[in-house]
Structure 1
């Protein structure tokens, strides 16, 4: 049972067949008609003017940040965000942009008061780098797949308009957020000036992400994609399965969420495990193991021997990500195996 990430999902048979029938062309010149259809569909779904197909979510976030921010400015990011922790400081390296980490609340929010502190009282003072962008993450990975509420998104959006600073949303799992909230994804993206979402996580496409935004923003992103080495040629072979993913894989995400809740309920009942099942909102669960029984490294080794793959997400927090290859039987077997592992340790210690 591989709970490492929903990036381990494999394309469906329908996706694989679509590769054989894809109409191809050179995408750098805008001639790959399959990519063009994908970008038009993605823009429509996000209620944005335009979209650009990117090789990865990391490049998609980086190109968006660089398109929004001039050199020497600041991007406000959560200190627990994927952009800040897992994307290799790309905005600083490639764009001369300073990251300002904002404390992340347990539900994934960046408090308005903390965002306010990042803005100097005197914006004319030449000593300060000025904020040029606010980045939000929805769902929030390291907070356990938490979904940003409509009221919070509205509050941040109004704040950003007051400050005349745009919002970029790292929506790698934006469809998980929409399904969990029971709304059309447009009801979330209306609070962002640009958005990145992944096709290769829960949607199960093999490769790629999308950036959506205004025509002007996407024009800049497309130029940056080329500069960063992301210009692709007959890329319809991966755009075709991405189209199938958007057409067939969104609604079934609710199954992953239900199984994640079942897994959380099962594991939370085991002595030596700390987990709050009531905060599980999408397909990610986070938990801790009593260090007197196992270090997190020992626990990962022992579960791996049982064929169960989890991951560590900092501070000893362990993560399980449920995806379409995880079945009800897998959930049952995982809970029973973890129970046996923890009981064995309790007996010996």
Structure 2
């Protein structure tokens, strides 16, 4: 269907004409030798944006997360995170399977969710209370905590700055590292007004993704100290992530920073419009995701698809809608018409 409206995820976007030109004209070199000028420029820019010493381009957010956690956690130690975090839900058990790292989860109590039904809102004290100390040979020591911002399964919620600050201050005293899964940190930045460097400085390692809200075809960047990024380069090679003339992809990321970051507010506005049309309180929509709860998800998804609208089934009773740069205001309105009609039946 030519005019299909795809709200399954913000990963479905296609490169714009301007982005394709930037990719075609990119200056390239062999990045395994650290000689690709477009990659090096992106890494330096991203490190500076997030207030870190260095950065490393990786092909996926999963690789960025897993290397980031390995940099701060040894085999036999554990990473603590929310039960619905991407690193333990959608990354195929990689921490254990690849690195021998244990993961343990805490079910968010949802405080501060502003009446919504999502989980994943960071409560620093709740997480801190579950940390297991080093030095007790009866216990698996907690080496790091991982925080996802925005939180995907929480419906795109933005983590509270005061909770991030509390966790960071505690971690400095406790000797526990903080890893940030910042796949959609751009959305958090635009929605909250919190500077990217502020978010970055509240984590030892952070993975930020360009192929979601920013609309590039491929690519994430891991930021950390220079020493850690040197080690990350070795892990990337071991995992098969060392690529050659990858400046064509880095150029897309640079273009996205220049051209697509500011427009994320439009996606957030579209999400609130969808929410209002579909009976969801717009005040609970913090970024570019709308969650429809207590609906027959398979039935809604199939009926919507038949009318040219694709949605994501999060569970048998939950549907997720994600706005992005490939769906304009008219597309959002048409999707709302279709879905409102189905929900009214």
Query: TM-score band, normalised by the shorter chain?
Result: over 0.9
Q: Distance in 2 between matches of 1:120 and 1:111?
A: 17
Superposition map of 1:50-69 within 5 A: 50-69=54-73
Is the radius of gyration larger for structure 1 or structure 2?
1
CA contact (8 A) 1:103 1:110 kept: no
Q: Distance in 2 between matches of 1:109 and 1:42?
A: 26
> Please, which of 25, 44, 47 is the counterpart of residue 43 of structure 1?
47
Q: Distance in 2 between matches of 1:180 and 1:156?
A: 21
> Please, which of 163, 170, 179 is the counterpart of residue 152 of structure 1?
163
Runs of 4+ aligned residues of structure 1 deviating over 3 Å after TM superposition are none
**Residue 15 in 1 paired to residue 14 in 2?**
no
CA shift, 1:213, in A, is 0.9
Q: Secondary structure of the equivalent of 1:153?
A: helix
Change (3 A) 1:105 1:309: farther
CA contact (8 A) 1:112 1:159 kept: no
CA shift, 1:289, in A, is 4.0
> Please, which of 266, 270, 282 is the counterpart of residue 277 of structure 1?
282
> Please, which of 169, 183, 188 is the counterpart of residue 180 of structure 2?
169
CA contact (8 A) 2:122 2:159 kept: no
Q: Distance in 2 between matches of 1:16 and 1:51?
A: 24
> Please, which of 82, 88, 94 is the counterpart of residue 86 of structure 2?
82
Change (3 A) 1:29 1:336: same
> Please, which of 214, 219, 223 is the counterpart of residue 208 of structure 1?
219
Q: Distance in 1 between matches of 2:146 and 2:252?
A: 29
CA contact (8 A) 1:103 1:114 kept: no
CA shift, 1:52, in A, is 0.2
Q: Distance in 1 between matches of 2:51 and 2:230?
A: 17
CA contact (8 A) 2:82 2:105 kept: yes
Change (3 A) 1:315 1:116: farther
Q: Return 5+ residue gaps in structure 1 as ranges.
A: 269-274
Q: Secondary structure of the equivalent of 2:147?
A: strand
Task: List per-residue Cα deviations over 1:255-275 (Å, max 9, x = no partner).
Answer: 00011101111111xxxxxx3
Q: Distance in 2 between matches of 1:262 and 1:64?
A: 36
Q: TM-score, normalised by structure 2?
A: 0.93
CA contact (8 A) 1:204 1:249 kept: yes
CA contact (8 A) 2:268 2:323 kept: yes
Change (3 A) 1:161 1:118: same
Q: Secondary structure of the equivalent of 2:105?
A: strand
Partner of residue 271, structure 1: none
Q: Distance in 2 between matches of 1:119 and 1:199?
A: 32
**Residue 322 in 1 paired to residue 323 in 2?**
yes
Q: Distance in 2 between matches of 1:41 and 1:260?
A: 30
> Please, which of 188, 195, 200 is the counterpart of residue 184 of structure 1?
195
Partner of residue 310, structure 1: 311
Q: Distance in 2 between matches of 1:168 and 1:124?
A: 22
Partner of residue 272, structure 1: none
CA shift, 1:240, in A, is 1.0
CA shift, 1:318, in A, is 1.1
Q: Distance in 2 between matches of 1:42 and 1:339?
A: 41
Partner of residue 333, structure 2: 332
CA shift, 1:320, in A, is 0.4
CA contact (8 A) 2:297 2:315 kept: no
